[in-house]
Amino acid sequence: METISEKRYPLSAKDYKLYEEVGEGVSASVHRALCVPLNEIVAIKVLDLEKCNNDLDGIRREVQTMNLINHSNLLRAYCSFTAGHSLWVVMPYMAGGSCLHIMKSSFPEGFEEPVIATVLREVLKALVYLHAHGHIHRDVKAGNILLDSNGAVKLADFGVSACMFDSGDRQRSRNTFVGTPCWMAPEVMQQLHGYDFKADIWSFGITALELAHGHAPFSKYPPMKVLLMTLQNAPPSLNYERDKRFSKSFKELVATCLVKDPKKRPSAEKLLKHHFFKHARGIEYLGRTILDGLAPLGDRFRMLKAKEADLLMQNKAVYEDMEQLSQKEYIRGISAWNFNLEDLKSQAALIQDADMPNAEEPDTNEKKKDISNDLKAPAEELSTSDGASTQDKEDGFNNLQDLESSLASFPIKPLQALKGCFDVCDDDVNNTSPRDLDHNYGRTDNGNSGTSSLSPQNAITQPKKFWSGSLQPDNFFHKKITDGDRDYLQTKYSSERNHSGPLLYRQRRDVNNLPLVDDTSEGAIVQRKGRFKVTSADPSSMGLSNNSSGPVAVTPPTSPPNQNFMSASILPSLQCILQQNGLQREEIIKLIKYAEQSYGKNTESIEAGAVDPLQAPPVTNRERELYLQVVQLQQSIGSLAEELQRQKMKNVQLERQLNSMANKVEK
Ligand SMILES: Nc1ncnc2c1ncn2[C@@H]1O[C@H](COP(=O)(O)OP(=O)(O)OP(=O)(O)O)[C@@H](O)[C@H]1O
């Protein structure tokens, strides 16, 4: 545990001076900055909310997680607030930058073993803490391991982290496809039985290889190849000719992590006891060996960016199509992905064996098959039956529904949707200009405020606060949760979260290949720039509706034969969806009950201690943990209530559609 600083970080952009850019991600840039009142150098992640499309949910999750964590190996947020159309997250400045950047600048062939052992031990400590608190990081990689000037290591980037308590059921399968392909565990790709903490152990093993070689296995291949190779090949290992320099214990550590059957992978806690970590040194060793003599982070970042720009210019022709654009981001090490799992699988299935690389072939002597390769996927299993053209499939944007799903659930005014989550001023919300960050140190310009008549039905209007602001203890529990407030929370979540529905729906719809939406909708111009995130599709966001509560937008069939054909193929699908929704609704009600019971238990135990945790600041670690649990349960209740609402809405919409289709068929 880390001692939480008593400092109060200001919640206004005017109290910070933004200096040079030191990093960038999918929709954020990170700057070194000065916190003027505290005279302290910090890092500020500036997230452009307008670029985030429908991933506000992810942003909120990331900041909440960063606010609540309390471990010396995890990058926490001091505070967060909105400035114009951006969200600013203030955090400790990690002057060394990420391990990926350090390798790119000075260690292109990877680090020496004692460095790797030291870094990995610190990362493991972070994972032990995260897993013990129910979180899966889901994006462990060198790019997310940051070092400060003393060599202290912190795991960062909780943008795609998941909370195992989200659903109120640890066993519940997840069917969200997130992470970055090279580091992604096979079970995450497959989505057969869901996944758990062990997905992080796989990524940890891949990260070990990345630190050893300077790049992750398969990093030079396009994502669909990575997918196929991860699923079909024996797991990557340290058994190659070039790996002779590494110790047996390192090879063993990697092999124990990279077992395809997640059950056979050790927990983070167990792994921490592995004898490989005898090679680990104190963090000051990192300062001496890998940070010493490095240029300032901003300069390194600028140089790397220039190099990448050159490379991209050289390969401009190659990056013309959208799939290759994603590949470009992939090369840059950004976890921004824009794929449909089914597309990926079908593309992967098209890859001939002859295409398979041999560059990473292990020594024949040492080559071994993963005996627990029970997840091995035959190529035919990966193919789809929808008969779409290869060209279509290879186009990252071929699936209009992906664009539409982004658009449909994207709040028209992201700031309103975030109201209550961060410190969002009315001025911010009303300011409709796309960019109002003063680039001279990020002062806000609220001069052009105005209220949009486009205010969405799902906008949050109450200026309540939730996790926002300073993380000083007296701010932790600034919100008393009463039944009334729980209602509020439920409404809040129900209006702003956008979730995805069952994967089955997407598959079914893909199979039927039905153009359910007006493809002249705004969706066609919105580029989804989330992480590599193929969530199961949300029927309401797949063209059945333009907004969660808006009118149904169905393109009418143009000719009678078409109409009959379409109706005939739509009807069974819609019926099936209705059935599914019914089942999901039951499941959700069960989960809400479970979450509420657990919440009740927590409240009782807190009341027994005669302390109102929601008003008093947390004093002990135990209190913090309890608070964390309460928060997680609140999140679960909120999201489940929202899911229920959405399913209800969908039912209504689908019923309407079904009726109108049936009428048309009868006519
Ligand atoms: N506190 C910090 N101090 C110094 N550099 C940082 C800090 N936080 C992030 N960075 C740098 O900025 C980069 C982008 O940050 P971050 O990973 O949080 O953004 P992101 O949008 O989540 O990116 P991605 O999803 O591509 O990993 C990091 O890879 C790192 O190099």
pLDDT digits (tens, 9 = 90+) for 587-636: 666 666 666 666 565 555 444 444 433 444 456 667 767 777 777 777 77
Residue minimizing CA distance to atom 21 of ligand 1: 25
User: Is 514 among the domain residues?
Assistant: no
Residues 88 and 101 in one domain: no
Residues 44 and 119 in one domain: no
Choose the residue to mutate in 9, 45, 308 for probing ligand 1, maximizing ligand atoms within 8 Å of C-beta.
45
Choose the residue to mutate in 98, 103, 332 for probing ligand 1, maximizing ligand atoms within 8 Å of C-beta.
98
Q: What is the distance between the alpha carbons of residues 389 and 401, in angstroms, rounded to a whole number?
A: 17
List all residues whose CB is within 6 A of at least one atom of ligand 1: 22-26, 28, 30, 43, 45, 75, 91-94, 97-98, 101, 143-144, 146, 156-157, 159, 334-335, 531
User: Is 4 among the domain residues?
Assistant: no
Size (the chain), residues: 667
Residues 124 and 193 in one domain: yes
> In ligand 1, which atom is closest to the CA atom of 92?
1
Residues 26 and 164 in one domain: no
Residues 110 and 71 in one domain: no
Residues 243 and 151 in one domain: yes
Using an 8 Å Cβ cutoff, are 511 and 34 in contact? no
* Tokens 């982004």, residue located: 406
Q: What is the distance between the alpha carbons of residues 618 and 525, in angstroms, rounded to a whole number?
A: 47
User: Is 258 among the domain residues?
Assistant: yes
Choose the residue to mutate in 22, 46, 65, 533 for probing ligand 1, maximizing ligand atoms within 8 Å of C-beta.
22
User: How far is ligand 1, taken at its centre, from the CA of residue 122, in Å?
Assistant: 18
Low-confidence ranges of the chain (pLDDT < 50): 164-177, 322, 325, 329-339, 351-422, 425-567, 605-617
User: How far is ligand 1, taken at its centre, from the CA of residue 94, in Å?
Assistant: 10
Residue minimizing CA distance to atom 25 of ligand 1: 335
* Tokens 């302390």, residue located: 611
User: Is 204 among the domain residues?
Assistant: yes
The candidate with the shortest Cα–Cα distance to 59, out of 32, 73, 80, 37, is 80
Choose the residue to mutate in 19, 26, 30, 531 for probing ligand 1, maximizing ligand atoms within 8 Å of C-beta.
30
Given the residues 57, 139, 157, 402, the one annotated as active site = 139
The phi, psi pair for 254, rounded to 5°, reads -60, -45
User: How far is ligand 1, taken at its centre, from the CA of residue 185, in Å?
Assistant: 22
User: Is 128 among the domain residues?
Assistant: yes
User: What residue numbers bound the domain in which 281 lies?
Assistant: 97-294
Instruction: Tell which of 70, 92, 114 closes a domain.
Output: 92
Longest dimension (CA), the chain: 80
Residues 40 and 61 in one domain: yes
Burial of 246 (0-12, 13-18, 19+ CB in 10 A): buried
User: Is 405 among the domain residues?
Assistant: no
CATH of the domain at 152: 1.10.510.10
In the chain the first and final C-alpha atoms are separated, in Å, by 69
User: How far is ligand 1, taken at its centre, from the CA of residue 285, in Å?
Assistant: 23
> In ligand 1, which atom is closest to the CA atom of 531?
25
Query: What is the reported pLDDT for 352?
Result: 46
Residues 196 and 237 in one domain: yes
User: Is 333 among the domain residues?
Assistant: no
User: How far is ligand 1, taken at its centre, from the CA of residue 144, in Å?
Assistant: 7
User: How far is ligand 1, taken at its centre, from the CA of residue 329, in Å?
Assistant: 14
Residue 45 assigned as binding residue? yes
Q: What is the distance between the alpha carbons of residues 233 and 241, in angstroms, rounded to a whole number?
A: 18
What are the helix (H) ranges across 43-112? 56-68, 99-106
User: How far is ligand 1, taken at its centre, from the CA of residue 75, in Å?
Assistant: 10
Residue minimizing CA distance to atom 24 of ligand 1: 25
Helix (H, G, I), strand (E, B) or coil at 82: strand
Residue minimizing CA distance to atom 29 of ligand 1: 143
Instruction: Tell which of 294, 318, 341 closes a domain.
Output: 294
Residues 232 and 263 in one domain: yes
Query: Is 518 designated active site?
Result: no
In sequence order, what are the beta bridge partners of 660?
A: none
Could you count the other beta carbons within 10 Å of the beta carbon of residue 353?
Answer: 7
User: Is 500 among the domain residues?
Assistant: no
Instruction: Tell which of 294, 328, 349 closes a domain.
Output: 294
CATH of the domain at 65: 3.30.200.20
CA neighbours closer than 13 Å in the CB half-sphere of residue 74 = 30
Query: What is the reported pLDDT for 311?
Result: 78
Dig out the tokens for 205 from the structure: 């093993």
Residue minimizing CA distance to atom 4 of ligand 1: 94
Residues 257 and 282 in one domain: yes
Residues 145 and 36 in one domain: no
Dig out the tokens for 245 from the structure: 């320099």
Residues 252 and 289 in one domain: yes
Q: How many domains does the chain have?
A: 2
DSSP per position, 461-528: -S---SS-S---HHHHT-S---HHHHHHHHHHHHHH------HHHHHHHHHHT---S-TTSGGGGPPP
User: How far is ligand 1, taken at its centre, from the CA of residue 432, in Å?
Assistant: 27
Report which DSSP code applies to 182: G
Using an 8 Å Cβ cutoff, are 149 and 291 in contact? yes
Q: What is the distance between the alpha carbons of residues 140 and 184, in angstroms, rounded to a whole number?
A: 9
